[in-house]
Structure formats: C-alpha cells, structure tokens
Chains A and B, each alone.
Chain A
C-alpha cells in the first residue's frame, strides 16, 4: 500500500513539475500576452492540481488533505480571475498599454 502511495506521489508531482516547466517555457516563448496567459493558466490548474494530488497521501490527516485541496481551489479561482482581468486590460488598451 505504501509503495502504491509512493508511486502516486512521485508520478503526480513529477507530472505537475512538467506542467510548471512547460508553462514557464510558454510564458517565455509565446508571442503575445493572451497566449502567454494561456500558458500560465495551465500551471495554475494542472501543475498545482497534480502536485496537490501527489501530496494528498502524505497529508497530515483529513484536515491536512482538505487544506491542500482548498489551496488548489483558491489558486484556481485567483488564477482564473487574474487571467480574465489581465486579458480584459490587454483587450482594452492593447498589448503595450
């Protein structure tokens, strides 16, 4: 059982790290603000989500696990809202405003 949890942790956290890497490369390489935002949201949703999933078996009881999941939900919420706000500003004032 422990081995299964360890495999889950290692694979999920590694997959999450991969999304972080991909998101960072996207942030640096994509040509305009909207596509860069697209790269960033992948990190918020899947990157953090997979890391949280991987850490769940190691959480400190049920309340620890709930805290981890609520962190993921809060990151998702703030990520989605901030992306909307930045995209709105870009649309209004142009990419350099």
Chain B
C-alpha cells in the first residue's frame, strides 16, 4: 500500500515536472520530446487508474502519433523560408491567459466534485451482456455512444482534408512530401523489412481483443499507420498520390460501413445505429475492422502531410 502510493506520488511529480519543462523548453524540438515523454507518463497514470483502454490510446495517439505530427511540423518550419516569425507579446499573453482559464476550469471540476458523482456505469455493466461484448469501453463506444464514435471518425477525415487543403494548386491530388529527420539508411531498411509483419499481427490482435479486453480500432489503426509510415520513411514504398481511388476508398470504408449498419438499424432494429438483437457483436467487430483500416490510412496520411508534387503519369 505504502509502496504503491509512493509510486503514484513520484509519478504525479514526474508528470508535473515534464509538463512544466514542455512549456519552458525554448527549442521546439526539445519541447516535442518532452511532450512525447509526458504522453508516455500519462499512459502509466491511466494504467494506475485501471483505465487500460485510455492508457493504450494515450501512448499511441498522445505520445506517438501527435509527437510525429509535431516533429513533421518542426521539420517544415525549419525548411520554410523566412521562418523567424516571432509571436508578439500580447498574443502570447492572451494564449497564456486562455490556457490558465482552461486549467482553472479543469482544476475546479476535479478538486470540487459534486456530492453525488453522476454516473451511468452501473447501468452499462448491467446491460453489457446483451451486446455480447466483454469490454465495457467497447460497449459504450459502439452501443451507447455509437453516434459519437461515428462522428469522431468523420472528424479524422475532416482533419485530413484540412491538411490536404494546404497543398498548392498544382500539386492537388499529388504525392505528399513526407518530411522526416533521418535519411534512409540500411539499418532503417532492415527495421522496415522486419517489423511490419509483426506490427500488422499486433494491430489485428488489438482490434480483435477490443471487444472483450482493452484494445480497439484506434489503437490497432495507430499501429497500422506506424508500420506504413516506417515502410514509407525507409523508402521501401513510395508515398501514394492522394488522388488514388483505392486510397480514398480505404479512407472512407470504415465510416461508410458504420453508417450503413446504422441506417440498416433504422429498418431492422427501430433506431439509427441500433443493432438487431443477437447480431450486435458480429456487426460491431465488422465495423471495428473496417474502422481500423480507415484510421490507419488516415493517420498515416496525416503524418505524411499535404501533397507537394504533382502525380507523375
């Protein structure tokens, strides 16, 4: 008991410290490294709170994917001309004030909780068996809050459209200019040949166990994206042009199947995104697999960035 509370206190102190050094770091690169470590420490904190699903997502998205996106942004800033843009003092003060306001709001919510904490958790656990799922998180995501989950995947595609819209006119539909720090080397090529088979198996496993244990489409999709990026960075496969029909198809297949099953639910089960009784689990697993593919492709393309050169015929 004493050891575990000692561990928790050290963990919290570490998280606060690394959070402070993320803000205080002068170099963007150093700040991003701190941010990635912050994400990994936060993942351990989520494990201590018995929220393994959140921990996996935090490590994959918060630590890994976001870090990669920001590293790409720094690489772009470094290579862009006239990048000595300094934010003015009023802007920085305003940003600081906004952040302080949000922190104060969150702190109030956590430090002064309501007498009776409103929760639907007992009801979820009572009715989870009807869905055939064993993981309550998957149950909430795909049964009770399916609309949120659907919209979340659509948001991912909207974010990708936002990145793509930064493309110059001539390069629209062309090949993204993946910016990375490392030059292709034989060591990296070796890793890119060895790891993806393992990674793909792990991604499929993550997605499959998501129904009963921590895991799911987002975690699996992130691993898929990482494997794809590794292969592209090592130069074993070229980054595909964003105009390719198969690419667009893979991007939307998850949300489209989700939506189709949702619409079918209106006829077969009487409500949008309701599952006909007895078929909930197979339908959810189908949706999860399709979503894993779409999420993997979307995250990979987000990291690859906007198209920079026109597609060669």
Contacts and interface: CB of A to CB of B under 8 A. Distances in A.
A85 B187 CA distance: 7
Interface string A75-97: 00110010011001100000000
Nearest to A83: B187
Q: Report, as a range, how many residues of chain A touch the other chain.
A: under 10
Nearest to A88: B185
Given A84-B187, A85-B188, A77 B182 contact: no
Which 8 A-B pairs have CB atoms at the shortest separation, nearest pair first? A84-B187, A81-B191, A85-B187, A81-B187, A85-B182, A88-B185, A85-B188, A85-B185
Interface of B: 182, 185, 187-188, 190-191, 194-195, 198
Contacts of A59: none
B198 A74 contact: yes
Interface of A: 74, 77-78, 81, 84-85, 88-89
A78 B185 CA distance: 15
Contacts of B191: 77-78, 81
Contacts of A74: 198
17 contacts: A74-B198, A77-B191, A77-B194, A77-B195, A78-B191, A81-B187, A81-B188, A81-B190, A81-B191, A84-B187, A85-B182, A85-B185, A85-B187, A85-B188, A88-B185, A88-B187, A89-B182
Nearest to A86: B182
